[in-house]
Structure 1
Amino acid sequence: MHVLEAGEPGRPCLLLLHGFPELAWSWRKVMPALAGAGYHVVAPDQRGYGRTTGWSADYDGDLAPFRMLNLVRDQLGLVASLGYGHVEAVIGHDFGSPVAAWCALIRPDVFRRVALMSAPFAGPPALPEEDPDRPPAPDIHAALAALPRPRKHYQWHYSERGANENMWRCPQGVHAFLRAYYHMKSADWPANKPVRLAGWTAEALAQMPTYYIMDLDKGMAETVAPEMPSAEAITACRWLPDRDLAVYAGEYDRTGFQGGLQWYRCRTSGRFEAEAQVFAGRTIDVPSVFIAGASDWGIEQVPGALRRMRELACTKMTDVHLVEGAGHWVQQEQPERATALLLDWLDKTRG
């Protein structure tokens, strides 16, 4: 595992888990301040990403190493390799948020606090035996495709064979693709004004931007390309200057995106749902906090998840913060505010 570190080993440890399409590099702006507060801060490139090795990008290969329980196992192994019996907190953003949540759910003795960022955690999947008369869920994909403007869900698109090539070999190149993608999901994109969705229906989901509910005939590269910011806007972008974006682009240009896409395939295939149901009804009982951008549609993409997280899944959630001036990339767009919220939470839940 490739890791970035800040602070002295042996101090109380914080473990930071990134999402897609990011790297440990996404924590670069908050790590120094967390270390300055007395922590040893560790951020790995997770399985399938960056300079961490030992995984396969073969679409036809074994998906089991990318399933959630094994991602938790990866973090247990990292903590042990660093010589710690526990970490003070595990902090996850985007797809790193459910990994952090599952770490705290399964091993609260090791992961003693959890901060979730941008992706609410609604709890483990329920046992179907608990509600045997519940009618089957409607085919959301057929309903999306049947809309007057035919649509599809991005997670199922990411699970398709061609999704990696669409982004990796796109005409505009990886650097320009990522620039448009990060821009479109940030507070800089004026259409990011999330609203509460009525439910898991095609009509409700279609209110979300096309980076979540895509046009049926487009890949992600074609979806974000029209929103490429101008040269002037790129120069003025203080939260993601081109030199920082080049780190992401260089790594994804080298590895492609399939390692991260395998995570989505584990989710959408349903292959590992049964083993997750072993934890049905279990709650996160360590201190927790949720932080997201006020302009982030991610907090609404699963209708009701935010409420279930606060009321059911996390029994000791102290705060929910929606940060103004931030979209999906909250710790990059507003690092000072995100760091202050984390440090305040760590201080008041100490011990």
Structure 2
Amino acid sequence: MTSLPEILLPAAIRSRYVDAINGLRMHVLEAGFETPGRPCILLLHGFPELAYSWRKVMPALADAGYHVIAPDQRGYGRTTGWDANYDGELAPFRLTNLVRDALGLVSAFGYTRVEAVIGHDFGSPVAAWCALVRPEVFRSVVMMSAPFGGPPALPFGTAALPAKPQAEDPVHRELAALPRPRKHYQWYYSRREANNEMTRARQGIHDFLRAYYHHKSADWKANQPHPLAGWTAGELAKLPTYYVMDRAQTMPATVAKEMPDAAAIAAHRWLPDRELEFYSAEYRRTGFQGGLQWYRCGTSGVFNRELQIWSGRTIDVPSCFIAGKQDWGTYQRPGVFEAMQATVCTAMMGCHLVDGAGHWVQQEQPEQVIELLLQFVAQARARAAG
């Protein structure tokens, strides 16, 4: 690990390792560590990202008096102790074990209470499950760029009915049968070939990530999201190809069509090439399979029964949602954004769609995100104080 390149970080952030976290040696970025006894904020990244994705907001949260902890999650970056083998055990990547990772990390730092757990992209459901399962520890939650639809429902009122086999979702056959055949990205990510196709992308990992981040950002002007009417092939086909791909295409080939030109890259502000190079260097080293295992847990459905333990349970701690206004992620699962506000979160204190940001909201518009986060955490603490 000593041979790894230096991470380009603001002076207020340090990189460190914490051993024996649920079988992991976890790489962590932290800010506000100089003063003992500070309240804790935990930041959880998504895919294909790293703890580094929080570099723009961590110093301001620390300046506001918090100890800010951002790990490379299981399967990512410099955290070790996980298996990247497609044929290896999938269970360590299930949501309840990711919650155990988060709980173990804050416990190792000596915290029995976390003021806010904040998750972006696939980190959002992990944060949501933290707040749902252990609300006495995770006292408020911010979900970013991926709304939370709640635990899966248990079969209800079926005692007099014969058992039925698990029904296959017909939407995948319907997508494949469209005049322009399509496939859903999460099921693409669950394929054995996906990691190899991305790590060996024809354009190289650096240019693949450049195009991927660009395509899902507000810089791609065709990102004009709106609610979809339902989980049907016709509605899902309205999503951009980074979500509902052309059936014959890989993800690198999909995003390559939207690669920004050299002038745009040279002028890039929210993710200059020197910062993108850190992501690409890490993914060249680790590959993508660690993150792809998370998608496989979801698409396989094999861990739904475990999650049904919490069927009907709501998130009752103060909650908030933040996403880019130009982010299709808010609507990619029809009805979830609305259900999160109406029934899943009983103490929702705001849903904010930040203009000028796509999917990478805390990197594209960090100042606005910082303001919203600090406002929310202050309000949540005031509410808890009575």
TM-score by length of 1: 0.98
User: Within 5 A, what are the aligned runs for 1:147-166?
Assistant: 147-166=178-197
Which structure exhibits the higher relative contact order, with contacts defined as CA atoms closer than 8 Å and separated by 6 or more residues?
A: 1
Q: Deviations over 1:252-290 (max 9, x none)?
A: 010000000000000000110000001000000000000
Identify the match of residue 186 of structure 1 among 217, 220, 233. 217
- CA offset at residue 136 of structure 1? 5.0
Pairing 1:238–2:269 present: yes
**Secondary structure of 1:70's partner?**
helix
* Residue matched to 2:134: 107
Of residues 331, 334, 339, the one that matches 2:370 is: 339
Paired-residue identity, %: 68
1:120 equivalent to 2:147? Answer yes
From 305, 308, 312, the equivalent of 1:281 is: 312
> SS of the residue aligned with 2:329?
helix
124-133 vs 331-340, which moves further: 124-133
Offset, 1:137: 6.5
Q: Which amino acid aligns with 2:230?
A: G
Structure 1 residue 81, shift from structure 2 partner: 0.6
Q: Distance in 2 between matches of 1:294 and 1:286?
A: 25
4+ runs deviating over 6 angstroms: 131-135
Specify the code of the residue in structure 1 equivalent to 2:214: H
Equivalent AA in structure 2 for residue 91 of structure 1: I
- Call closer, same or farther: CA 1:210–1:58 in 2, change over 3 Å: same
Name which one, 1 or 2, has greater alpha-carbon Rg.
2
Number of residue pairs matched by the alignment = 351
1:61 equivalent in alignment to 2:92: no
The separation in 1 between residues aligned to 2:28 and 2:191, in whole angstroms, is 30
User: Which whole-Å deviations, capped at 9, do the CAs of 1:278-327 have from their partners, x for residues lacking one?
Assistant: 10000000000000000000000000000000001100001000000000
Pair 1:6 & 2:31 matched: yes
Partner of 1:316: 347
What displacement does 1:129 show?
3.0
Deviations 1:152-175 (A, max 9, x none): 000000000000011111111110
1:299 equivalent in structure 2: 330
- Residues 159 and 130 of structure 1: is their aligned pair in 2 closer, same or farther, counting only changes over 3 Å? farther
SS in 2 for 1:227: coil
State the Cα distance separating 1:349 from its structure 2 match.
Answer: 1.6
Where do 5+ consecutive residues of structure 2 fail to align? 1-25
Which structure 1 residue ranges, 5 or more long, are not aligned?
A: none
For the aligned residue pairs, the C-alpha RMSD in angstroms reads 1.3
- The residue aligned with 2:5 is none
Task: Tell me the equivalent position of 2:97.
Answer: 70
Q: Cα offset for 1:131?
A: 6.6
Q: Give distance in 2, aligned partners of 1:81 and 1:241.
A: 34
CA distance in 2, matches of 1:330, 1:130: 42
Q: Which residue of 2 aligns with 1:255?
A: 286
The AA in structure 2 aligned to 1:226 is K
Q: Which residue of 2 aligns with 1:212?
A: 243
